[in-house]
Amino acid sequence: MNRPFQPFVKFPLYILAFTVIGVLFGYLTFKVLSFSRTVEVPDLYGKSLTEAGRLLAPKSLTLKIAGKEYDALIPSDSIIRQAVPAGHEVKERSEIEVVVSKGPRAGSIPMLVNEKLGSAESLLLQKGLMIAKVLWVHSDTVEKDTILAQNPEFDDQVGEAITVLVSLGPHEEHFYCPDFRGMSAKEAAELLKQMHLRGVTKGEGNTVVSQKPEPGKQIKTGETIYLQLF
């Protein structure tokens, strides 16, 4: 007598089953679509770990420290470089690997004054340091590319960016070559020094009889004048 009612019992069960399957399918579809979304990686260079975390969180990205290195410019616990360059797109929930600064290597600043700029940079690199700023200035007495001053000074503790003052050499002035003919070797040498010119003499005499460049020709500071003595 209960058989006519069986379809009415099964029908709600079918609806419930289809509903559960639909919800499950929708959830799985949402998860797949969410996982496949891509986001742009922000620039993390120089940022502290806290700042980097704040930039990554809205993009559903996480930070992973891949290593630590000494760096003379980037403060300790700030990011030196990132595995995925800024502006590139990655999937949400990706890990962004970074290398973090350990700050400058402990020690003191070496003497850089009177060193050539290239030599000073090599010297600092051996100590895990580097020049942060180069200031250039003309000097009539110090050769071009030679360091005139440094900050911090020699033997100071490492703790701030290194700045050096470097010579550009003397100002290049253009003028007409004077007439050295008839001058004594001593007079010619004195005039060359005053005009910041280099002199090369030939002959065993004491009087200038000829010269190159010729008198009146345009020359510049630092140029070489060849003098023939008799």
Write the pLDDT tens digit of every residue in 50-101: 999 999 999 999 999 999 988 877 888 999 999 999 999 999 999 999 999 9
Q: Tell whether the torsion through CA atoms of 116, 122, 123 and 129 is positive or negative.
A: positive
In the predicted structure, residue 1 carries a pLDDT above the cut 70: no
3-state secondary structure of 94: coil
In the predicted structure, residue 10 carries a pLDDT above the cut 60: no
